[in-house]
Structure 1
Amino acid sequence: MLTSTRNADETRLEGVMSAIRGRIANRTLTPGAKLPSIRSCARSMGVSKSTVVEAYDRLAAEGVIRSRPGAGFFVTAPLAPLALAEIGPALDREVDPLWISRQALASGSRMAMPGCGWLPASWMPVEAMRRALRRLSRADAAVLADYGEPLGSPSLRTLLARRMAGHGIEASPGQVMLTDSGTQAIDLLCRFLLKPGDTVLVDDPCYFNFHALLRAHQVKIVGVPYTPSGPDVARFAEALDRHSPRLYITNSALHNPTGAVLSPAVAHRLLLLAEKADLTIVEDDIFADFEVEPAPRLAAFDGFARVVYIGSFSKSLSASMRCGFVAAPRGWIDGLTDLRIATCFGGPSMAAELVLALLGDGSYRRHMETVRQRLSASRETVGHRLKMLGIEPWIEPRAGMFLWCRLPDGLDASAIARHALEHDVVLAPGNAFSLSGSARGFLRFNAAQCDDKRIFLVLEKVMRAL
């Protein structure tokens, strides 16, 4: 059924045409699909039949649709390039997750970025990376010029298997495949496990790029409310019964954006529910090395029966020299490797060698010890300054960079983000993370990115104005 999405500047005729073009763009109407009858379209869109007739005639003249006498109107246009911003509910572009990411990635030095999801470059072990790169420059020509092995560096995969064992996760090097990032690992798993129309559970709130990535796979996304100890188990069980999801994607330790940690009791109940429902869980643990005290891992409890484990060094080491990995059931690795070859051919050879060098010489361990100490101090300082403005952290995180904060009653985070942008401050409003749109009164702050005094001055000014 077509429904009206006409904005104030459109005529009724333009609204009908825009609705049809939108349905074609987001692949709800594909080539050969029959359009609603003129009478049906007029009724559902609240316009006259003559308006629909003219709209169909104009679209036919453009070659978007064509008439078959006695049969109706059919889509003829080829599929438009997939536009992720067109999929899902209409969002204010200034709080769209992809828009936030674009602003943060393209902002340069003039913008303050308390809403971004990574550490400042000045926090990274740049000198250690330079030394490793100099050593790498003297490596064999094959390391510098050839494609990497399909699974990635055997030495790094062996080391990663040992590191996972420190979290109680037993995986052999043959169960580990290197990827370019954690995001690529999730993308490959979606290609491997899902088909359009399947249902995927996510936390509400969750990392906003999960929404964008899953929309690209054209699946149905269902959010489950998140609590300080993990997903709401009762609501999780309801979602399993109602939607029969294929997949659940989550962070178990240092949840993004809340900073919460999964409790052992909730982990146990989740795995029991997943087993009963034949649900696969993707455990995204890219913040593992920010952790101070060990938290439960679903993969450790499950032993890869139905949990797939993902890690990455993009947040902790370098977003430029990208290297991640996925650990999966042994029988899945060949299929995932084939998909990796089909989509990007070789593995991240040079990035893997750099990561291996920094892990092996102790540079990475020393770097992360410093990062954890700095983040602890920054969370305390930033949390105090936010409380002085009436902005309260939802919880006091044990570790990590994020503070998930509640605004004073009545304030809309999206409105604050729009006004802050006018002052070169990029914020991350709560509803970008919330599928249900229930986090309008929240902002995510990155404690490591809040040194700029403008941030708190702008927040105070904007909050007073609203």
Structure 2
Amino acid sequence: MAFDLTLTQQVMTVIRDQIARRQLSAGARLPSIRAFAEAQNVSKSTVVEAYDRLLAEGVITARRGSGYYVASAFAPLSLAEIGPRLDRQVDPLWVSRQSLETRDYLKPGCGWLPASWMPEDDIRRALRALARNPKADLLDYSTPAGHAGLRQILTRRLAEKDIDVSPGQIILMDSATQAIELLCRFLLKPGDTVLLDDPCYFNFLAKLRAHKVNVVGVPYTPNGPDMAALTAALETHRPRLYLTNTSMHNPTGASLSPINAHRLLKLAEAYDLTIIEDDIYSDFELEPGPRLSAFDGFERVVYVGGFSKALSASIRLGYIAARPDWIEALTDLKIATLFSSQTFAAELVCQVLSDGHYRKHLDTLRQKLAAVRGPTAERLEKLGLKPWLRPQAGMFLWCELPEGYDASDLARQALNERIVLAPGNAFSVNQTATRFMRFNIAQSQDERLFAFLKSHLRT
């Protein structure tokens, strides 16, 4: 046996090996707990725990009064089932599907940081602190609005962006994506019109299609939406909602200017428009920029935030900040559709934010992104990929391919070489980004990416 394993793990390994060598076939009865304990020279409690774990994994089954048996063999796993769908149409879900379904590919097209950039030590420290804290709520449902202590912390964090909000105006959700979904259910009905930036985050497009609304794209500029085009869309379509990133816009990296923020809010008032301000990338910001929620005071703007980008993609937690008279109805809708949000995730995030390490982590993240932003943009430009904008913060570069190239075709070719790219039309309402591609600078440091681009692009 391997003595770096616990006794329970050693027993489990013996059984797995016997099954693998077909000494125990599917349906075969395992030795009794007493007999196996004597044969392996371990205690009966060790065998009980090993059998219980193998039961939980589905390796063995238990029959009351009869004993334990090897479970039926699993169907063989086909690599084709876990690989990318090369024939899949490039649509708003294409990049997400390819990024999530492939584990060992390069992912310069994905929308998150490498796991090695995340504060794993801080999270483990917080987990240990929660385990030692008898007052931590790890088992029960959350209150309807979510963890009170975390909502208090969020009010202080939002105040740093000049957003004045009380804990009673904040509702915790399991992610920013889920927060936007709840708001769409609350605000929209089939047939309504919604404005999106063109280009925009591709999941906005996918989500709104599911709600069966009419989507109108507004061209995006380095300072925010094209105000003339926005005014024309408001006049022509009378939309119910505008969904946007105001800071470190996905996919362009641009941020809304103060002048355009004021213009946008005046238009929203004139045309009875509600705005969802998705601020999921705010922690990457070097200095706080203009927020519609700060200027508006939540009259026409709803704010959405979350922690998946800078803290952990596995700890799913987001939140909504909204006008006081909407909170009751939003809370009821949350209970009706979700019942409750994750207490454990809220406890963990609250612990991480409270111990002082998170701000140091953010400083490190910003420094890392700053260190690779310029060199990555220059390398891409030398290969013929021209950055549309040189952002001051964030993780994205929106680049234009040389004349004659189609980003979707290039992305399909990249999959053959185990690289996931993000073609422009996945982000475009009007399908006008054929020659554009979004690059995640943190995920674009592997030489295989640049070798692929060099071999497939003529400069």
TM-score, normalization by structure 2 = 0.80
Partner of 1:242: 236
- Kept after mapping to 2: 8 A contact 1:137/1:144: no
User: Superposition pairs for residues 176-325 of structure 1, below 5 Å?
Assistant: 176-325=170-319
The gaps in structure 1 that reach 5 residues or longer are: 1-91
Does 2:441 align with 1:447? yes
Does 2:104 align with 1:99? no
Q: Structure 2: how far apart are the matches of 1:245 and 1:410?
A: 36
Does 2:115 align with 1:115? no
Amino acid at match of 2:412: R
User: Superposition pairs for residues 254-403 of structure 1, below 5 Å?
Assistant: 254-403=248-397
Deviation digits for residues 171-220 of structure 1 (CA, Å, limit 9, x no counterpart): 00000000111111110000001001101001000000000011111111
Q: Structure 1: how far apart are the matches of 2:180 and 2:134?
A: 32
Q: How many residues align?
A: 373
- Kept after mapping to 2: 8 A contact 1:416/1:463: no
Of 146, 162, 169 in structure 2, the residue corresponding to residue 175 of structure 1 is 169
Q: Structure 2: how far apart are the matches of 1:97 and 1:122?
A: 27
- Kept after mapping to 2: 8 A contact 1:290/1:368: yes
Partner of 1:130: 124
Amino acid at match of 1:450: S
Partner of 2:160: 166
Which structure is larger by alpha-carbon Rg, 1 or 2? 2
Report the alpha carbon displacement of residue 342 of structure 1 after superposing the two structures with TM: 1.3
Identical columns (%): 61
SS in 1 for 2:158: helix
Amino acid at match of 1:233: M
Deviation digits for residues 289-346 of structure 1 (CA, Å, limit 9, x no counterpart): 1001221100001000100001000111011011111000001111111111112211
Amino acid at match of 1:144: L
Partner of 1:53: none
Q: Structure 1: how far apart are the matches of 2:260 and 2:187?
A: 25
Task: Single out whichever of 455-464 and 173-182 deviates more from structure 2.
Answer: 455-464
Amino acid at match of 1:95: V
Q: Structure 2: how far apart are the matches of 1:426 and 1:347?
A: 32
Report the alpha carbon displacement of residue 388 of structure 1 after superposing the two structures with TM: 1.3
Partner of 2:51: none
Deviation digits for residues 243-273 of structure 1 (CA, Å, limit 9, x no counterpart): 1100000011110000001001111111000
The gaps in structure 2 that reach 5 residues or longer are: 1-86
Q: Structure 2: how far apart are the matches of 1:426 and 1:381?
A: 21
Q: Structure 2: how far apart are the matches of 1:191 and 1:295?
A: 29
Report the alpha carbon displacement of residue 138 of structure 1 after superposing the two structures with TM: 3.0
Amino acid at match of 1:401: M
Q: Structure 2: how far apart are the matches of 1:320 and 1:222?
A: 33
SS in 2 for 1:225: strand
- Kept after mapping to 1: 8 A contact 2:94/2:426: no
SS in 2 for 1:145: coil
- Kept after mapping to 2: 8 A contact 1:94/1:418: no
SS in 1 for 2:417: coil
Report the alpha carbon displacement of residue 94 of structure 1 after superposing the two structures with TM: 4.1
Report the alpha carbon displacement of residue 93 of structure 1 after superposing the two structures with TM: 3.0
Name the CA shift for 1:123/1:142 in 2 (closer, same or farther; >3 Å): closer
- Kept after mapping to 2: 8 A contact 1:281/1:307: yes
Amino acid at match of 2:446: D
SS in 2 for 1:223: strand
Report the alpha carbon displacement of residue 142 of structure 1 after superposing the two structures with TM: 7.1
Amino acid at match of 1:99: W
Q: Structure 1: how far apart are the matches of 2:401 and 2:221?
A: 18
Amino acid at match of 1:226: Y
Partner of 1:155: 149
SS in 1 for 2:456: helix
Greater than 6 Å deviation, 4+ residue runs: none
TM-score, normalization by structure 1 = 0.79
CA RMSD of aligned residues (A): 1.3
